[in-house]
Homo-oligomer: A and B are copies of this chain.
């Protein structure tokens, strides 16, 4: 039987998981998905995602692939998997892809969204999907800072200390802030790739500006400095969503 490659589009609520990537003695999304795939296909399956997401981070559309010799068609596999998966993981789509597709290496761009609730009262029903900030944020200043990120930059200032030592240059195609009447602020960043904790470090620093603790000029200086120690604290994981992966 010839091996086929199947692409999965997954949505998940990362609240109770120790992130995507499989680890010894940790409850991870990858481990759960691989376990259910093994139940469906009868053999162990290794799943490759577009990238890891951290503990508590969610995905509207994560993409992953695996290779199988099973004759089961993608649609049947999708339904079967959803019947086996817990309620906080959903396979939105399964389809055949060509042998040269790779969920991680074929990525063209990825987009993340960060959600902030800027209001007096928290929204208890959205508590795992928002960063609740009481103090009124200066949206205009935050937007100006965001716009300076677009383009090709060395993002060393916004990578986490423990991140792998690879090329820190990334190209941001889109960096936008949407603000609603209900206090909901959505920050969307699309780039050809992200350094470890990059979105959360950017948002944490943006919020320092929004709170008036840092000037917009200082934000630009931090970006240009390449020095992580100057940036603001990392925003909480719970507000972050992997929104789309483009190939």
Contact = CB atoms under 8 A, between A and B. Distances in A.
A88 B122 CA distance: 10
A129 B13 CA distance: 14
Given A92-B121, A121-B92, A87 B127 contact: yes
Interface string A73-100: 0000000000000011110100000000
Task: Please give the count of copies of this chain that the complex contains.
Answer: 2
A156 interface: no
A236 to B, nearest CB: 12
Interface size class of A (residues with CB under 8 A): 10 to 19
B92 A125 contact: no
A141 B122 CA distance: 37
Contacts of A89: 124
A139 to B, nearest CB: 24
A243 to B, nearest CB: 13
A87 B124 contact: yes
Contacts of A92: 121
A125 B129 contact: yes
A11 interface: yes
A36 interface: no
A41 to B, nearest CB: 23
A12 interface: yes
Contacts of A88: 124, 127
Contacts of A87: 122, 124, 127
